[in-house]
Amino acid sequence: MGMDTDSGLGNGYRYRYGSWYQFLLGESDIGQNRAEASRRALAELNPRVAVVAHTGELSEAFLASFQVVVLTESPLEEQLHIGDFCHARGICFIVADAKGLAGQLFCDFGKHFVVDDPAEGDPVCAAVQHISQGNPGVVTCMGEEDSRGHLFGDDDLVMFSGVEGMTELNGQEPVPVHVLDAFRLEIGDTSSFSPYRRGGLVSQVRLPKVHCYKPLRQALAEPQIRVASPEELPRSRSLHAAFQALHAFRGEQGRLPLPRAPADAERVLELARSLGAQQGPLEEDVVRAFASVSAGDLCPVAAVIGALAAQEALKAITRKFLPLDQWLYFDALECLSLEGAGQLTEEDCAPRGSRYDGQIAVFGAAFQEQLGRQKYLVVGAGAIGCELLKNFAMMGLAAGPGGDLTITDMDTVALSNLHRQLLYRSSDISKPKSVVAAAAVQRMNPSVRVRAHQNQVGPATESLYGDDFFRRLDGVVSALDTLEARAYLESRCLRYLTPLLDSGTEGPRGNVLAMVPLVTKPLGPAGGPRDGTFPLCTLRYFPRTIQHTLQWARDEFEGLFQLPAEHVNRFMEDPAFPEQLPAGKALEVLEQVRGSLWEWPRDWRGCVRWARRHWQSRYHDAITQLLHTFPPEHETSPGVPFWAGDRSCPHPLTFDPDNDTHLEYILAAAHLFAQTHKVPPCSDRAAAQTILRSVVLPPFVPQEGLQIPLAEEQEEVQTPADHRWLAELTQDLVQRKQELVGGEEAQVPLMEPIHFEKVPGARQAALLSLGGWRAENYGIPPADWLSKRIAGRIVPAIITTTAAVAGLACLEVYKLVWGCRDPSCYRNSNLWLSDCLLLRYQPLPPPTYWYGGREWSCWDRLEMQAVSADGQEMTVQEVLDWLQRTQGWTVTMLLRGHTVIYDREEDEETRTRQRAQRLSENLEGAGEPRRRELELYYVCEGEDAEAENERPPLICSLP
């Protein structure tokens, strides 16, 4: 694949203001060739990828060697010439361009492009309950989740497997289905088949699809444009004409239109009129707006278009997912509808010799100063967080006087992060993410005032992230990996009227949601994609669902057959490996290496014995230890059982060599263990059973005082390394290495790491049964084959999605910084990169409700200064009087959370005491920390039952 990197998206002509939307470049690169400077930065991202800079002409001889050619910000003449060449040679050709607040993407993958895997996710599959004998036969099946039915569509091709009785269907060529209802499908003639008995799976078969593309020259005149809805087509056609007109304007003037220059914008419109007549009426306001800011450079727009283009390049290489057919236009021109934005002049947007001139060309110099004064909190520095921070650095958010950017993340950098979290490098492994990310932001833009925290934003840290902290913020951006954490953050932003932008991804899908105080509805329950997995303590000790046990099974696999082999190979090949390990991880990794070297199997018998010991360790001993630490009758406090609510009390399992599923696991695990150690395997089941019956394991003795974390916050607590013990351990390992090698050079590599995705299906299914046994440990309903597919559907974050999502979120940041209160300017976004589809829509307005005879918004609250005339904290009676005086409400109950402050149903003596107390007296007695603000809950006389959970909160500011 070939791609130039001479500007934000790539090489080519430019009359642009500023180039600091190019995050790969720093001030030290000024004056250097951008392709070469970018090459050095790109090479650091992955040392295994060869990155070559080409600064010469894009000759046909040079282009002929590539599978994919991507042109960015290239003159139309060059696009047409190279497009013709690539189309004739069968080279996949992509054009990506960003101008101001709009972007353009074009794909030509040739006359005959075969897509091997056109759809996202796994093929549809369902368990068979019954198949009738008839013409047509009727298949009754169960759905994948909660028996809500199958997901097949009319004319889907399916195959059958595992059917008992009507075995003629097994392995038959794919047949089309007709959907009768949510649980029934019609197939072909089954009248002559044997009667159905039981079991079986019906699975969708996806056949390759062939696509035929027009060359660019033809596609310009006959555009096929991808839109999310038919209503968007006129706008996209207008942008199609506008981009061509911009090329023509540049041909006339030798430059792009000057920012906010009416004469230039009108000339572009004139040129577009001549081009747009063949494709329908022009939306002239769209063309004018586009032209007026087309000289600008905005890193969020470049991020969106660059991510879409990168995903299309991946489709060209992998032939996975449907490629774009053929044009896509993206714009955020709604930003120009911000109050006052339309009145910006040429002078406001003229270049200042600043790194932000490309942004000033769109929003003006005063707005850039406002960006620099922002105080923002970014929660999470993972895949999305890295992309957000990269954009913030380029935008200059918090880079001026009074600005402040706080990053908080409890996690440390891991090796698996490096494929999608671009702020981190191999040398950062085991370092705090927030600290490394903050340093990266400052390298990109030394002016940004950034602080790194390593805290969770939650109830336990409200002393740090409390009233004063949230009230000073201009906005919060969440890049969290759990819905629970996001819900808490949303509640805090609701309380303090703080804008919140939330983003999530799952593979090629992503979304962005904007929560603007007084303008939009709160985020509410989320079912969209998230960037993350389950807390470790849940997976290790307290699983609740089959998803938990299957994720645990995947983690087990990696810890048994992949990571140990990789670590052993590095130790055997590199004498300096122990010294290269981070201090916090050295002991753990070297002990893992020692375990692998000391338990080295001599033969197949040793592999079977190892698998038996492992089964005993996981399904009997670990559960016995957990029950020793927390017995079934254990209580967290008197009368409160430990094993209740989210915790299911487990029970140990007993191994049975005559149990077929137990034996299948032993054989699968032993085969993989043998493969990693390069020991010849054996498939004799009877021999394996004989070995298993001879295994005698000592009785398990639980440890006393073993600490088991009960919450995610308690996990991964690292103790300082004992350097003397590390030295002794390293020496032991060197000695063991010599014993294994026998004075000769070690076989390189010594072990074979195995990745789960590369394991044969039958063995993979057998190994996933360990998730089912763990479910049995905890009384979780067992997983059928369909549920086990969840483990294969765990989709990691991919950087193309996270880059696009972050760009979309940062476009909303512009509106927040502008102080926009017009809901029509904001956009929520849903993204499907697998289909190159982007849906942006206006957030819903805040919901309202009636209480106390008037209408309230969800953002409304009652605020009072709870200070008596003597300067002391108000009494409860004074608060009751205030509500009666200002609202006309007679309060019958006043609470803080679950603590009752006043209850009219109590006896007279209790009521008198309650009314006389200061507001926080009861709370301090209940163990709550002293607060400057209290949010109180109340019940009023005569209120409707419907008002149970709908009333404006009462915020009391204490002295």
Determine the 3-state secondary structure of 917 from DSSP: coil
Buried b (16+ CB within 10 A) or exposed e, 297-317: bbbbbbbbbbbbbbbbbbbbe
With a CB cutoff of 8 Å and minimum separation 6, the contacts of 742 are none
Rg of the chain over Cα atoms, rounded to whole angstroms, equals: 32
Residue 760 is predicted with a pLDDT of 57
CB 401 within 8 A of CB 370: no
956 exposed, middle or buried (CB, 10 Å; 0-12, 13-18, 19+)?
buried
Residue 930 is predicted with a pLDDT of 62
Q: Using alpha carbons only, give the angle 85, 90, 96 rounded to the nearest 5 degrees.
A: 65
The identity of residue 558, as a single letter, is E
The identity of residue 223, as a single letter, is P
In Å, how far are 11, 568, 586, 940 from 583, measured between CA atoms? 43, 18, 5, 60
Residue 40 is predicted with a pLDDT of 84
Determine the 3-state secondary structure of 41 from DSSP: helix
Determine the 3-state secondary structure of 734 from DSSP: helix
Structure tokens at 20: 């600091």
Q: Which residues are catalytic?
A: 537
DSSP state of 792: G
Residue 17 is predicted with a pLDDT of 36
CB 94 within 8 A of CB 305: no
What is the DSSP pairing of strand 178-179 with strand 854-857?
Answer: unpaired
Residue 713 is predicted with a pLDDT of 42
d(CA 194, CA 203): 20
CB 737 within 8 A of CB 600: no
d(CA 869, CA 806): 50
Number of H helices, E strands in the chain: 31, 32
The identity of residue 254, as a single letter, is G
The identity of residue 345, as a single letter, is T
For 588, list phi and psi in degrees, rounded to 5. Answer: -60, -45
What element of type H or E holds 379? strand 375-379
Count CA atoms within 13 Å of residue 549 on its CB side. 27
Residue 367 is predicted with a pLDDT of 95
DSSP strands (E only) in 860-923: 862-865, 891-896, 899-903
d(CA 902, CA 915): 7
In sequence order, what are the beta bridge partners of 164?
Answer: 198
For 954, list phi and psi in degrees, rounded to 5. Answer: -105, 115
Torsion-angle region of 121 (φ positive above 0: left; ψ -120 to 50: alpha; else: beta): left
The identity of residue 483, as a single letter, is L
Torsion-angle region of 147 (φ positive above 0: left; ψ -120 to 50: alpha; else: beta): left
DSSP string computed for 244-284: HHHHHHHHHHSSPPPTT-HHHHHHHHHHHHHHHGGGS---H
CB 382 within 8 A of CB 531: yes
d(CA 954, CA 293): 46
pLDDT tens digits for range 187-223: 989 999 999 987 788 888 888 889 999 999 999 999 9
DSSP string computed for 904-941: TTS-HHHHHHHHHSBTTHHHHHTTPPP-SEEEEEEEET
Q: Residue written as tokens 């949303």?
A: 490
What is the DSSP pairing of strand 854-857 with strand 848-851?
Answer: antiparallel
- CA 522 vs. chain centroid, Å, equals 21
- CA 312 vs. chain centroid, Å, equals 20
Residue 144 is predicted with a pLDDT of 45
d(CA 786, CA 792): 10
d(CA 22, CA 938): 54
Torsion-angle region of 7 (φ positive above 0: left; ψ -120 to 50: alpha; else: beta): beta
Buried b (16+ CB within 10 A) or exposed e, 909-933: eebeebbebbbbebbeeeeeeebeb
Residue 303's nearest CA partner among 193, 395, 175, 427 is: 395
d(CA 540, CA 622): 10
Q: Which segments in the chain show pLDDT lower than 70?
A: 1-21, 122, 142-149, 276-279, 482-484, 525-539, 544-547, 574-585, 644-646, 710-727, 740-749, 756-773, 780-797, 897-898, 922-931, 944-949
For 854, list phi and psi in degrees, rounded to 5. Answer: -145, 165
Longest dimension (CA), the chain: 96
Residue 54's nearest CA partner among 13, 3, 7 is: 3
Torsion-angle region of 396 (φ positive above 0: left; ψ -120 to 50: alpha; else: beta): left
What element of type H or E holds 14? none
d(CA 809, CA 815): 10
CB 499 within 8 A of CB 512: no
d(CA 183, CA 180): 8
With a CB cutoff of 8 Å and minimum separation 6, the contacts of 743 are none
CB atoms closer than 10 angstroms to residue 576: 8
DSSP string computed for 655-714: --TT-HHHHHHHHHHHHHHHHHHT------HHHHHHHHHH--PPPP-PPSS----SSGGG
CB 420 within 8 A of CB 383: yes
Structure tokens at 304: 């969106």
d(CA 575, CA 571): 7
Cis check for the bond before 326: say yes or no (omega within 30 of 0).
yes
